[in-house]
Structure 1
């Protein structure tokens, strides 16, 4: 859009979509703090976020190389190591990415994102393993990383989603513990399509179709939901018609999870978190 087209579009949107509501009452004053970021943030803060939001195939190699170049300037800075690890694992040199993440864990053993990326890589390796014993050993490693990630940051929905993803290939999925894991992920990130689709799918598999529809309706009715809203509407129609669910794809805002991969949160209280899984 040109600037004039953008102005016209915003005016039209305001006239058609926005309404005002007067709210009375006293609200507490928010506490605001300002923190100076480390020098590597100038190089890496935004590009590290770009790694998380989806990169076209044709740009992935170049982006991985650029992140590696920028991260190399900053040695053992945690942000630099995290960016180098993420880019290496997903966009370029996997061994270099592994080294960066392992170094980050030497500095900060409870770094949740580093643990998630390493778990995700072990699960990828397990899917491509030549035999069941090798795959099982890799899943055990992944579970160890995820146990540490869960202990360090129980409110991180990505750890829960990875735990659930690991369970999807195991016998007995979905069980009560799996549903609890998915429900906790949704509770912690209800705004994300990625937490709704697998939960709804698991509910359908257990016969809880009305609950699945209730999970999907906010997304299906989101006027700004894009392809995820369209997909949610298709799922609801299929559930109501008693049909097989459409295959979950990697399209746009559909149920894609670009960060980690899992099983069940270890060592949790049963009333607030899922129980450990066993194989």
Structure 2
């Protein structure tokens, strides 16, 4: 017993979890974890991005720092669902795409085995959407978006740096075997699927989309057909017509896909470390103040109700009183104050944060947002909006490709009721180029293009909004606008808001939680 006690005393202390930041080219991760686990998690995400970029020959240029995806790692799936305001029980991770502020929330994932749990698969699925929206040249159909996301997210990582993509989607096996009612024709002909889907509840749409994408991507006898299908879609053909021309008889295709599913082994893509150019990961331990304010920061950035905003502001002030010299805490306080409607307090907190650390990006944003809101009621609108733009101009000097200074340069004209200059519209266009995944921003640009009578450009801009897999009423509204723009009717006095049924706000653009 004495020897055992002595051995325990001289053993090195186990690695302790602590709040850490992992920063890399495409991700910023905050987690209460060990350095080893967080570094491995971040490395796997970077290798995943590199693998997709290699296969799709795109996405190789790193985004501006603020256009990286920020990932918050929380305690468990229950906490994820609470933050997502989800009652279904099926949300394992979610993602909110926004210009300069895209975030994802996931529970702690097990990175040790290389085989992924469902939370990691859900996170990779959503990041695939983010990646594909960033490189899309035209709106891809729903089955393709979901099938490709499932294909890439079914990944495996080896300790030597190897990445396997297109592994069997075991998490979709049950629905493919027990709900085999979605056919290849249903996927490729949206009208066929729409006629059926209201007659049932859960179906195998995701699983069958994965299977069809896997088959068309890796079955040698179908080589080149998927590329041809996408080319036909880009030329303007309907999905079902493009599919029949590229794949042949769709009922025959269904038989082959069904046979493919029964194969004892399926091919996958093996990417060696030689082709994976993963970004290095830098770890930083958060200050005591940053760690204390982190739960509030997460809730604020996800969006709060009026009641929640007041409560969070009160909590933020208490933490800021304990850490008055912490710039990150003061920045979080500025955001909480803005959300609670206290613009003067937000400006004071932002100024205090920037006096300590002029690199606090979100402090510039929160100060600018509060000044813009004050400008709406100012008697001297021109001067007020000039002052409101100042924090965004300072942010532009700090980070030239941050999209928000470009957006608010444009909005300063709109807020004053002044026709935006060509330069302002070009700034908005550049913001969309920098953040193509922000579908609300796309809608804003499309409406400006309609006002400028650039109808063909508006159709292209609205395409990803209209066919967003999780777009809800926002996508339906965008489709109505596109239908009107392409109807051949007189568009001289066309106002898109006349087609509203509900709010046109896009769930995907505002970042409604997505599984």
Q: TM-score, normalised by structure 2?
A: 0.44
Tell me the distance in 1 between the aligned counterparts of 2:355 and 2:365. 15
Tell me the distance in 2 between the aligned counterparts of 1:250 and 1:81. 34
1:107-146, aligned counterparts within 5 Å? 107-129=356-378, 131=379, 133=380, 135-146=381-392
**Would the aligned equivalents of 1:89 and 1:121 in 2 still touch at CA under 8 Å?**
yes
Q: Identify if the C-alpha distance between structure 1 residues 140 and 73 changes in structure 2 by more than 3 Å, giving closer, same or farther.
A: same
1:62 counterpart residue number:
311
Residue 176 (str. 1) matches residue 422 (str. 2): yes
2:333 counterpart residue number:
84
Aligned residue for 2:404, secondary structure, equals helix
Q: Identify if the C-alpha distance between structure 1 residues 105 and 33 changes in structure 2 by more than 3 Å, giving closer, same or farther.
A: closer
Residue 193 (str. 1) matches residue 439 (str. 2): yes
Please report how far the alpha carbon of residue 200 of structure 1 lies from its aligned counterpart in structure 2 after TM superposition: 0.6
2:463 counterpart residue number:
217
Aligned residue for 1:198, secondary structure, equals helix
Please report how far the alpha carbon of residue 16 of structure 1 lies from its aligned counterpart in structure 2 after TM superposition: 2.9
Tell me the distance in 2 between the aligned counterparts of 1:110 and 1:116. 12
Please report how far the alpha carbon of residue 42 of structure 1 lies from its aligned counterpart in structure 2 after TM superposition: 2.4
Q: Identify if the C-alpha distance between structure 1 residues 158 and 49 changes in structure 2 by more than 3 Å, giving closer, same or farther.
A: farther
Residue 27 (str. 1) matches residue 219 (str. 2): no
How many residue pairs get matched? 251
Q: Which has the larger Rg?
A: 2
Tell me the distance in 1 between the aligned counterparts of 2:295 and 2:340. 16
Tell me the distance in 2 between the aligned counterparts of 1:42 and 1:109. 20
1:269 counterpart residue number:
none
2:62 counterpart residue number:
none
- Over residues 115-143 of structure 1, what are the superposed CA-to-partner deviations in whole Å (9 max), with x where a residue is unaligned? 222222222112112x2x3x222222112
**Would the aligned equivalents of 1:250 and 1:256 in 2 still touch at CA under 8 Å?**
no
- Over residues 29-80 of structure 1, what are the superposed CA-to-partner deviations in whole Å (9 max), with x where a residue is unaligned? 4223333222223222242132123212332211222222233322221110
Residue 151 (str. 1) matches residue 397 (str. 2): yes
Q: Identify if the C-alpha distance between structure 1 residues 141 and 227 changes in structure 2 by more than 3 Å, giving closer, same or farther.
A: same
**Would the aligned equivalents of 1:118 and 1:145 in 2 still touch at CA under 8 Å?**
yes
Please report how far the alpha carbon of residue 175 of structure 1 lies from its aligned counterpart in structure 2 after TM superposition: 3.3
Equivalent residue for 2:207, pick from 3, 11, 15: 15
Comparing 201-210 and 235-244, the one that deviates more: 235-244
**Would the aligned equivalents of 2:439 and 2:465 in 1 still touch at CA under 8 Å?**
yes
* Alignment RMSD: 2.9
Aligned residue for 1:52, secondary structure, equals helix
**Would the aligned equivalents of 1:120 and 1:162 in 2 still touch at CA under 8 Å?**
no
Equivalent residue for 1:52, pick from 287, 301, 316: 301
Comparing 76-85 and 110-119, the one that deviates more: 110-119
Tell me the distance in 1 between the aligned counterparts of 2:377 and 2:385. 12
Q: Identify if the C-alpha distance between structure 1 residues 239 and 254 changes in structure 2 by more than 3 Å, giving closer, same or farther.
A: farther
Tell me the distance in 2 between the aligned counterparts of 1:230 and 1:250. 9
Equivalent residue for 1:245, pick from 496, 511, 515: 496
Gaps of 5+ in 1: 258-279
Aligned residue for 2:285, secondary structure, equals coil
Q: Identify if the C-alpha distance between structure 1 residues 230 and 152 changes in structure 2 by more than 3 Å, giving closer, same or farther.
A: same
Q: TM-score, normalised by structure 1?
A: 0.77
**Would the aligned equivalents of 2:330 and 2:352 in 1 still touch at CA under 8 Å?**
yes
Tell me the distance in 2 between the aligned counterparts of 1:97 and 1:174. 28
Please report how far the alpha carbon of residue 92 of structure 1 lies from its aligned counterpart in structure 2 after TM superposition: 5.1
**Would the aligned equivalents of 2:337 and 2:345 in 1 still touch at CA under 8 Å?**
yes
Tell me the distance in 2 between the aligned counterparts of 1:256 and 1:205. 23
Aligned residue for 2:275, secondary structure, equals coil
Aligned residue for 2:323, secondary structure, equals coil
Tell me the distance in 1 between the aligned counterparts of 2:497 and 2:356. 44
